[in-house]
A = this chain, B = another copy of it.
Amino acid sequence: MTDSRKPVFLVIGAGGGIGGNCAMRFAAGGYRAVCARRSDEEALQKLVTTIEAAGGSATGTLLNAAEDGAIEELVARVERDIGPIHAALYNLGAQIGNRSLENTPHRIFELGWRLGTFGVFRLAHALFPAMVKRGQGTLLVTSATAAMRGNAGQHSHAAAMGGRRMLCQTLNAEFAPQGIHVAHVVIDGPVDSPPLRKLLGDRWDGFAQAKGEGGIIDPAVLAETYWHLAHQPKSCWTHEIDVRPHSDVPWWNDNPAPEIDAR
């Protein structure tokens, strides 16, 4: 049931990591969470149930963000049927693991852009006019190390994230003066999430042990930082922030540091 007195928090990419945890955090803080993910209706329903069990409001929907018109339709439907979207989180990644150029077909490169860059553009395009009218709104964008530097094997991912970062800056330049807060969150370390656990499979335990306590980003903890960003008053807005485990080497450092650093 819709509680029309609550502001809406729309999450595109509401899986078991950052997206789902932000949905829970914002619902706990008084938002109605609208959770969209591509597949796994069961997990989606479980997220909604968990939020409701904790006394929050939530709705779930499946969404293929790469499909023409899908994001636009969702935004229109939420604004019409549920309520004004006060804050949104774009949380779809475009990470496909390390692939050499030869093993990165055209369609993979294009899909990276479609989810990594174009989706952010489409969300802003659909959502911002209403936010501008209301003079208020927040767009949180989960981003990645690859937005800051390209590395071997990251052709699709880095091109998509580099485009995402510059796009967030253009959106900020046009819309911050109109009251819309755009924040680009650079996640510079591994997040404890179903996709990473799946990617690692049997290697997860060894990975987690090697990382040690606090060595993997806890998405429930990270959600507090998203919450903080979304509620900075207008005189103190952050556009870009980085986050990593204390024990992780930042993207701008070598790992390991060279024994002889003659540079």
Interface positions of A (Cβ within 8 A of B):
95, 97-98, 100-102, 104, 106, 109-110, 113, 117-118, 121-122, 124-125, 128-129, 144-155, 158-177, 179, 181, 187-191, 196, 199-200, 207, 213-218, 221-222, 224-225, 228, 232-247, 249-255, 257-263
Contacts and interface: CB of A to CB of B under 8 A. Distances in A.
Tallying the copies of this chain within the complex gives 4
Nearest to A258: B255
A217 B178 CA distance: 17
A3 B190 CA distance: 40
A53 to B, nearest CB: 25
Given A217-B235, A240-B240, 15 more contacts: A113-B117, A146-B263, A150-B166, A152-B173, A155-B170, A158-B167, A158-B170, A159-B163, A162-B164, A224-B228, A225-B236, A236-B243, A237-B243, A254-B254, A254-B255
Contact of A168 (B150, B235, B259): B150
